[in-house]
Amino acid sequence: MNVEKESEFEKLTFKDYLPSSTIVGVIFGLVTSVVGLFFMYQQINSEPSTSMTGMFMGSISMLAVCLIAACAGLVAVWHFTKEVTSTLKLGQGAVIGFLTGAVIAIVSVLLSEAWATFIDPEMMRNYADSMIANFEAMDMPQSTLDDIAESFDEGDSMFRQLFINIPLYGVLNLITALIGVKIFADKPEETF
């Protein structure tokens, strides 16, 4: 390894990771928000069903959103290796991945809050009614339906969503960023 590449490699700071993490995080935050809204409106507009698909539409949509968001760590490392330096350690890739996941969480929560506040304030109520209608179609006891309705009434605050989503998306993207380092980055030569 030449001295110039070694000094470039050692001089990387936190600020060097932010552009790739922010660009990719904002893009994937927008995509996950749109996909999440798509699945939510699918559930709202569906007829009550006793099928497993109708009952688990919320879980299926969350899984789809997580799978899409998880790809961001890989893309952020690719972007970083093209724009900053092609030599990257696993730990540096992990930082890029976690930061990307945090940006995704912040963007998606802010967009969801803005949508639910300004564009469609009745969305969550309609979603809750649709889910309760699915459970009613399955002939669940009234006490269970009341518990489900109560959980929807409590709702999630923006800070609670961030508290859950930042670690979730951060760890998912940390893992995919490590894979991205193995695929896209040149490995630093070890000197003894």
pLDDT at 114 over 80: yes
Is residue 65 in a domain?
A: yes
Number of domains in the chain: 1
Is residue 153 in a domain?
A: yes
Is residue 69 in a domain?
A: yes
Is residue 1 in a domain?
A: no
Is residue 163 in a domain?
A: yes
Is residue 103 in a domain?
A: yes
For 123, the domain range is 18-184
Higher pLDDT, 39 or 145: 39
pTM to 2 decimal places:
0.84
The per-residue pLDDT for 9 is 52
Higher pLDDT, 104 or 155: 104
Is residue 92 in a domain?
A: yes
Opening angle at CA 161, ends 41 and 109, nearest 5: 60
What is the pLDDT confidence band of residue 83, given thresholds at 50, 70 and 90?
A: very high
Mean pLDDT check: name the lowest of 65-79, 94-108, 134-148: 134-148
Is residue 32 in a domain?
A: yes
pLDDT at 6 over 70: no
The mean per-residue pLDDT over the stretch 104-114 comes to 94
* Of 187, 40, 31, 36, residue with least CA distance to 100: 31
